[in-house]
Amino acid sequence: MKIGIPRALLYYYYIPFWKTFFEALNHEVIISDETNKGILNKGIQESVAEICVPIKLFVGHAHQLIKKGVDYVFVPRMLSIYQGEYFCPKFMGLPDMMKHGVNGIAEKILTCHITSDEDSISDYHYYLPLAKQLEATEEQIKKAVEAAEKKWRIFRMYSQMGYTVPQALEMVENNQLLKKKDKRQYDLRIGLLGYVYNIYDSFISMDMLEKLQEMDVDFVTFEMEGEQILRKQIDFMPKKLFWTFSNKLLGAGYKFLNNKEVDGLIHITAFGCGPDSFLSKLLEIRAEEQGIPFMMIRVDEHTGENHLQTRIEAFIDMLRRKKIAG
Ligand code: SF4
């Protein structure tokens, strides 16, 4: 069977797991193309206007997979990956949103519930409800999950070695380490915070990573840090945020700021993102306390690339002048 995986949302965090899982069960995995204007337009057309752009993109990518003729589109219901915390409600309701809101997709959705209390999503029981559709036995599901977990752990190890998600994915695929630029060659280091699907979808982030690289700026992102390190940073909070990925970002932001590991912090957020309205404010307050410049960039489907380019260049110029002035 052909299983479609939209190149959106948690594709950028769990794709090595899901791809390996389906392939281990002898199914062909089809991943939608890199985001383009057509995918975005379809997502906008099929979604309610007020929803955030990452969800609109997920819808657009799912549509493309249907057009490519897949038998199923994988839309997991992500509920939790940390005890007592949850995903943003849009993740929890994603299969329903797709089923009831998107024309012609209901019969093609392949879904299961992920309710882990850790980053790893490798309890095979989550995937057992898929056994019938995937024509697999319990034992086969179990083995496929083991293989998937192994691959995903290697991917996470690469991320924590400081590789970006595309680099880590390439290394997992080719089983070969990429060369990294010597960090001492950079004069500036930025903390680049945002959900993986905002940072690594070059259409949403408008090639922000490349822009920083062209400006010779080093950057660090939240998924390059270990889970325990991130958690330690927010231990002092009597009440954490409700949403796990927001807590990961907050932990990373606090680490970069508290230890003065970065010269500036950029938070990329999607218009209409509820969790980020808390997160961005908390980051801004801590950045101000630490005297580290902070910039929030809010993107939506109308954001213009020139506008973004100007803001980034101005921010980087300011950081360089600040550094020279001591
Ligand atoms: S966390 Fe924000 S950007 Fe992500 S799906 Fe939820 S509302 Fe959208």
| pLDDT over threshold 80, residue 184 | no
**Whole-structure pTM value:** 0.95
In what side-by-side order are the strands of the sheet with 188-193? 217-220, 188-193, 264-270, 294-299
CA of 313 relative to ligand 1 center, distance in Å: 27
Q: Which residues line ligand 1 (CB under 6 A)?
A: 52, 54-55, 88, 90, 195, 270, 273-276
The answer to the question of residue 169 being in a domain is: no
The answer to the question of residue 171 being in a domain is: no
Instruction: Quote the pLDDT of residue 202.
Output: 85
Q: Sign of the C-alpha dihedral, residues 15, 21, 23, 27?
A: negative
- Is the CB of residue 16 less than 8 Å from the CB of residue 169? yes
Kindly state whether residues 156 and 188 are assigned to the same domain.
Answer: no
CA of 138 relative to ligand 1 center, distance in Å: 34
| pLDDT over threshold 90, residue 113 | yes
Kindly state whether residues 141 and 243 are assigned to the same domain.
Answer: no
Kindly state whether residues 15 and 48 are assigned to the same domain.
Answer: yes
Q: Angle of helix 11-24 relative to helix 165-174, nearest 10 degrees?
A: 20
The two structure tokens encoding residue 97? 């949103």
CA of 195 relative to ligand 1 center, distance in Å: 8
- How would residue 233 be classed by pLDDT, with cut points 50, 70 and 90? very high
CA of 264 relative to ligand 1 center, distance in Å: 24
What CA–CA distance (Å, rounded) separates 29 from 21? Answer: 10
Atom of ligand 1 nearest to the CA of 246: 1
What CA–CA distance (Å, rounded) separates 212 from 259? Answer: 22
Report the CATH number that the domain containing residue 24 is assigned in CATH.
Answer: 3.40.50.11890
The answer to the question of residue 58 being in a domain is: yes
- Is the CB of residue 109 less than 8 Å from the CB of residue 72? yes
CA distances from 100 to 8, 16, 54 (A): 19, 29, 18
Kindly state whether residues 151 and 188 are assigned to the same domain.
Answer: no
Token pair 């003065």 in the structure block, residue: 260
Weakest-pLDDT range from 224-233, 274-283, 301-310: 301-310
Kindly state whether residues 153 and 30 are assigned to the same domain.
Answer: yes
- Taking CA atoms only, the protein residue closest to ligand 1 atom 1 is 88
| pLDDT over threshold 80, residue 181 | no
Indicate the helix (H) or strand (E) that contains 110: strand 109-110
Atom of ligand 1 nearest to the CA of 274: 7
The answer to the question of residue 239 being in a domain is: yes
Cα torsion through 283, 284, 290, 291, rounded to 10: 150
Instruction: Quote the pLDDT of residue 31.
Output: 98
Q: Which of 12, 52, 79 to mutate to test the pocket of ligand 1 (most atoms within 8 A of CB)?
A: 52
- How would residue 303 be classed by pLDDT, with cut points 50, 70 and 90? low
Kindly state whether residues 68 and 132 are assigned to the same domain.
Answer: yes
The two structure tokens encoding residue 110? 């392949």
CA of 254 relative to ligand 1 center, distance in Å: 21
What CA–CA distance (Å, rounded) separates 85 from 242? Answer: 5
| pLDDT over threshold 90, residue 177 | no
HSE on the CB side for 299, CA within 13 Å? 29
